[in-house]
Structure 1
Amino acid sequence: MTITRLLARPMLASIFVAGGIHALRNTEAHAVKAKPVADRFVPLVQRAAPSAPIPTDAATLVRINAGAQLLAAAALATGRAPRLSAAVLAASLVPTTLAEHAFWEESDPQAKAAQRREFIKNTSVLGGLLLAGVDTEGKPGLAWRARRAAADVRREARQVAKDARREAKLAKAQLT
């Protein structure tokens, strides 16, 4: 087992477990902060996927986000579908960060500095999730396997073409 599986993934996932639980316990407070972000992005998602049942209530969106964070964090911590779970956590972190840590909207210098630190922390966590999302633990990823298969097909095609030319020469020599 690698250090990534033993320590790094559970450590990275722990912030989402704590955040998800906190959001579920304090849904209404989170919903107040999430409303401006939801009001901006829900219409975009509805236009992109018109038939999808996208909730518009900020409290419902907070609960869905918290549930997604809890499930994906558990999956990441236990090594189950680590790339998918890291991607889900990264996708859930962006709206959370925009809603909770909008330092650019703060007027008080101390509050602005505190929100900026949290924003930067979340940006750092996002970087960790991106790394977790591409970590294959030494196993070839899908892109590598696809490139390898394409190279194998090209090599085989060249060999078949070479064999066909040789057979054609032999057949021609036998006819003459």
Structure 2
Amino acid sequence: MTMIRAAARPMLAAMFVAGGFNSVVDPKRVAAKAEPVVGAVADRVPGVPKDAETAIRLNGAVQLGAGVALALGLMPRASALALAGTLVPTTYAGHPFWEIKDPADRAQQRIHFLKNLAMFGGLLFAATEHRKKRTKRSRWSCS
């Protein structure tokens, strides 16, 4: 692993570890915003809890676990994909800038939405990065 990868993974994971921990410990702070999205997802996806606080805790637990795994380089592709999956409902529920009338609030929520979109892109990069396979070479080979 290069030094850049060793530094980049924990940087990318830090927000998920912190946010996931907060969601597990205190889901009430975002439950009202998440309730409509949780209900819509629960109606369409089997296994998703209908209770907003339970769904937030579950989402937070996945973010916390996958964030730690990504930071440590454990199953980085699977961890990055799991985090990307949690980011979609989190962003949709948390930053619906298109519904906000006040220009200042709308601009602030758009910034957060785009920040999450950028993190989603970083996670897709992490999930699709290819490792070079090491091959045994003779000390005498020219390649």
TM-score by length of 1: 0.72
Q: Contact (CA 8 Å) 1:13, 1:73: kept in 2 or not?
A: yes
* Counterpart-to-counterpart distance in 1, 2:106 and 2:7: 33
For the residues of structure 2 that align with 1:65 and 1:135, how far apart are their CA atoms?
25
Question: 5 Å matches for 1:110-149?
Answer: 110-139=104-133
For residue 102 of structure 2, the aligned residue among 79, 100, 108 is 108
Q: Does 2:58 align with 1:69?
A: no
Say whether the 8 Å CA contact 1:5–1:79 is kept in structure 2: no
Report the counterpart of residue 80 of structure 1 in structure 2: 74
Tell me: CA distance 1:8–1:14, structure 2 relative to 1, closer, same or farther (3 Å): same
Residue 38 of structure 2 corresponds to which residue in structure 1? 38
Structure 1 residue identity aligned to 2:85? A
8 Å Cα contact 1:75/1:85 also seen in 2 = yes
Bigger Cα displacement from structure 2, 117-126 vs 14-23: 14-23
Describe the shift of the 1:37–1:6 C-alpha distance in structure 2 as closer, same or farther (beyond 3 A): same
Inter-partner Cα distance in structure 2 for 1:108 and 1:69: 31
| Percent identity between the two aligned chains | 47
Q: Is the 8 A contact 2:95 2:112 kept in 1?
A: yes
SS at match of 2:132: coil
Give 4+ residue runs of structure 1 displaced > 2 Å after superposition.
none
Structure exhibiting the larger radius of gyration computed from Cα positions? 1
**Residue matched to 1:160:** none
Give 1:71's aligned amino acid.
G
- Look up the match of 2:29: 29
Aligned to 2:48: 54
Contact 1:83 1:132 in 2 (8 A): yes
Q: Give structure 1 stretches of 5+ with no counterpart.
A: 47-52, 141-176
Query: 1:56, 1:139 → 2: CA distance?
Result: 44
Q: Which runs of 5+ in 2 are unaligned?
A: 135-143
1:59-87 alpha-carbon deviations (Å, 9 max, x no partner): 00000000000000011011110000000
Q: Counterparts of 1:4 and 1:30 in 2: how far apart (Å)? A: 34
Deviation at 1:108, TM superposition (A): 1.0
Task: Please list the CA deviations of residues 149-168 of structure 1 after superposition, one character each: whole Å capped at 9, or x if unmatched.
Answer: xxxxxxxxxxxxxxxxxxxx
- Offset at residue 96 of structure 1 (A): 0.3
Q: Which residue of 2 aligns with 1:11?
A: 11
CA RMSD in angstroms, aligned pairs only: 1.4
Question: What is the CA–CA distance in structure 1 between the aligned matches of 2:25 and 2:103, rounded to whole Å?
Answer: 29
Contact 1:103 / 1:112 at 8 angstroms: preserved in 2? yes
